[in-house]
Structure 1
Amino acid sequence: MMMPLRCLSELARRRRGCCRPDHAVDAMRTGLQCLMSTCSSTKATDNHSFSNTYATSCANLPEVAPSEAPLSDMLVDSFGRFHNYLRISLTERCNLRCQYCMPAEGVELTPSAELLSHDEIIRVADLFVTSGVDKIRLTGGEPTIRKDIEDICLHLSGLKGLKTLAMTTNGLVLSKKLPRLKECGLNALNISLDTLVPAKFEFMTRRKGHSRVMESIDAAIELGFQSVKVNCVVMRGMNDDEICDFVEMTRDKPVNVRFIEFMPFDGNVWNVKKLVPYAEIMDKVRQRFNGVERLQDHPSETAKNFKIDGHAGTISFITSMTQHFCAGCNRLRLLADGNLKVCLFGPSEVSLREPIRAGVDDAGLREIISAAVKRKKAKHAGMFDIAKTANRPMIHIGG
């Protein structure tokens, strides 16, 4: 149960051994008020059949997936899901303007003073890792444009208990940074690439740079990163004609190409007609390639993973819209402005930056985080209701 705001404020004062000025209490209240809001709960259907391609499997309370033993109760929600995976957005800025991520006119960015500092990021990350998080993914915006990215990686990789330090990047300036990033402990990469056609790349991202992204993929392979994934958001009439070309990419390159269903966020002009369902993509792949075999997925895995006979790499499908994976969700998101988001598609957020700057100690932060995690819904609202729910642009949330 969430501690009343008045009690939590008093608890923080006692722990510090002094009284804080009223404006500090107000700052913490700002961070906690978001906990009072709830994600919308709506109806949809759970259908794993290829024939019903638009079913959003959200009808029934999901069975809780098996989880590893948590180090603390802070990361366990009311449905027994243990969240050992934290995604940290380092910046809202990006050097691309991808159409599914950002409105054409851009977005209003949070002032720099209201973004988490290097030390605040490390402090919060350490709090999560000591509570059981063993995987951190750095996102943006575009994380590689943050000037202290190498130092952040170095400090994060040194946290005891962290097994995987990953990053999702557009790859535009990645290749030159990769050797140092690997030295600093980065060991897994997701590189976004939605087309293999340079001219189409410029249209989709509103910027040039296709060749540089390809160079980054090759550099990551050559440097021996333990995981190199290529994220492809599939959009009808845009790049759905390249599905098999992306699969062909895995024949010689030991990469995992992940086809991601187009998802609705503020400003990306989402329309169900643009959505290419997993079932349809899978049909195209099977018609073209023989020996497509399903791999065993971890209970918390977001992707459906496949291997193909004779291919060095693999392919996967992120089916957020047509076949959700909420029951095994183990992810939390720390936004660049310090807000904690427990569900990608839920509007509810709680500020950690405000309590930190108000002087709340680690024990107090743990209580705020725990209360937010406990309020996480069993599942997201479903494809069509997500599209009608106010949420931030993806550039603010983090990829």
Structure 2
Amino acid sequence: MLEDAYARKFYYLRLSITDVCNFSCNYCLPDGYHAQHDESFLNLSEIKTVTSAFARLGTNKIRITGGEPSLRKDLPDIIAHCAQTPGIKKVAMTTNGFRMEKDIERWLDAGLNAINVSVDSLFSEQFNQITGTQSFKKVMAGIDKAVDLGFTNLKLNSVLMRQGQQANLKRFLEWIKDRPVEVRFIELMEMAENKDYFDKHHSSGSSLKDQLLAMGWQQQIVSKNAGPAQVFGHRDYKGKIGLIMPYSKDFCASCNRLRISARGHLHLCLFSDAGIDLRQYLQLDDGGLALSEQLIMHIQGKKVSHFLHQHDSGATQNLASIGG
């Protein structure tokens, strides 16, 4: 079992397969994607080594991330391999939803069993402004198709913004009244490239939590391989609300996830240094044994917490570079 010096166990791998994104969200890639490396992304063989090594060490959940993972043509093959890896019980993916209406059935057939779609607003004009696209109808059509297919392990990710927060909350609550979908509000996080934007738009999730509790929402117990969200349910709603609050007290105490970047770097924290280059171990024909040894060794260097409260986001330039 992967366990760090603070007795935290790691059941959850966030695996980035590309840092390319076709959206230009104003809190992440306001100028759009620009390649910063010549090195290629992990191929399927390397991904097999990663998943085998992590599964051998007790990881049972993999989330495929990007950039935008659906931009890879071999995404169904990657999903299928993750799903077929002994020990992996859950394969999830975070997507902007651009290709969801067209491809969701292929993803599900390959073995995907959880999807998070980034939807920062249910107001079409605001959504298009945030993403730098005209994709609102296309994304929502994909979400509607998932619901129509009876797919219930569906979540919407929405970055919490100071402006328009109450209007967005009202719209999301109306939307999940009769839909079995969880909406996750994520506190805006300060990155190297978005400091001015962060200062202008950051809003704490604690006030939203207090508001939900006052409205009769109740916090629920989550599984040990779940993400960092506090999840709330209400007897009058089919859907749920999640809050991800990285600035809250003891947020890192329950950390259960590690990250591998699209170029084979191990990131012990979203806000750590440039990552540990493990790609040479991904190319060995040893079933991931050498990689496993490296993971066991390096995890002892994981720090007790991030340093966001000190305005230190490490080497993370934007979320697309690691996979959020």
TM-score, normalised on structure 2?
A: 0.92
Q: Does 1:291 align with 2:225?
A: no
Distance between the aligned counterparts of 1:304 and 1:79, measured in 2?
22
**Distance of 1:361 and 1:254 partners within structure 2:** 40
Give me the whole-angstrom Cα distance separating, in 2, the residues matched to 1:246 and 1:284. Answer: 14
Structure 2 match to 1:229: 155
Residue identity opposite 1:120 in structure 2:
E
Output the amino acid matched with 1:86: L
Q: 1:87 aligns with which of 8, 11, 14?
A: 14
Match of 1:250 among 157, 163, 176: 176
Which of the numbers 293, 296, 303 marks the counterpart of 1:370? 296
Instruction: Quote the residue 1:97 is aligned against.
Output: 24
In structure 1, what is the Cα distance between the partners aligned to 2:75 and 2:284? 26
Measured after TM superposition, the shift of residue 234 of structure 1 is 1.0
Name the TM-score, length of structure 1 as normaliser.
0.76
Letter in 2 for 1:366: S
CA distance in 2: counterparts of 1:375 and 1:154, whole angstroms: 32
CA distance, structure 2, for counterparts of residue 371 and residue 107 of structure 1: 33
Q: Report if the CA contact (8 A) 2:60-2:225 is conserved.
A: no
Unaligned runs of 5+ in 2: none
AA of the residue aligned to 1:330: N
- What's the CA shift for 1:254? 0.4
Alignment partner, residue 191 of structure 1: 117
CA contact (8 A) 2:152 2:180 kept: no
Bigger Cα displacement from structure 2, 329-338 vs 234-243: 234-243
Q: Does the alignment pair 1:260 with 2:186?
A: yes
Match of residue 35, structure 2, among 79, 83, 108 = 108
Q: Which residue of 1 aligns with 2:323?
A: 398
Taking a change above 3 Å as real, the CA distance of residues 96 and 238 of structure 1, as seen in their structure-2 partners, is farther
Paired residues for 1:3-22 under 5 Å: none
Partner of 1:160: 86
- Contact preservation (8 Å) 2:273, 2:316: yes
Q: CA, structure 1 residues 258+323, in 2 after alignment: closer, same or farther (shift >3 Å)?
A: farther
- Following superposition, the deviation at residue 239 of structure 1 comes to 4.9
The code of the aligned residue for 1:245 comes to R
**Contact preservation (8 Å) 2:152, 2:181:** no
CA separation of 1:236 and 1:100: change in aligned 2, threshold 3 A: same
> How many residue pairs end up in the alignment?
322
Output the CA distance in 1 between the equivalents of 2:242 and 2:282.
39
Residue pairs, 1:109-124, within 5 angstroms = 109-111=36-38, 113-124=39-50
Note if 1:328 corresponds to 2:254: yes
Q: Deviations over 1:285-341 (max 9, x none)?
A: 456xx4222212346651111112310011010011234421111100010011010
Please provide the CA RMSD for this pair. Answer: 2.1
Structure exhibiting the larger radius of gyration computed from Cα positions: 1
* Number of the residue aligned with 2:272: 346
Distance 1:81 1:360, change over 3 A: same
Measured in 1, the distance between the counterparts of 2:181 and 2:132 equals: 26
Q: Which residue of 1 aligns with 2:204?
A: 277
Shift of 1:218: 1.6
364-373 or 206-215, larger mean C-alpha shift: 364-373
For residue 385 of structure 1, report the CA deviation from its aligned partner: 2.8
SS at match of 1:125: helix
Conservation of the 8 A alpha-carbon contact between 1:243 and 1:285: no
| Cα 1:80/1:153, change in 2 over 3 Å | same
Cα 1:390/1:128, change in 2 over 3 Å: closer
Secondary structure of 2:125's partner?
Answer: helix
Q: Which runs of 5 or more residues in structure 1 are unaligned?
A: 1-69
Instruction: Kindly provide the amino acid, as one letter, of the partner of residue 110 in structure 2.
Output: C
| Distance change in 2, residues 1:214/1:178 (3 Å) | same
- Counterpart of 2:72? 146
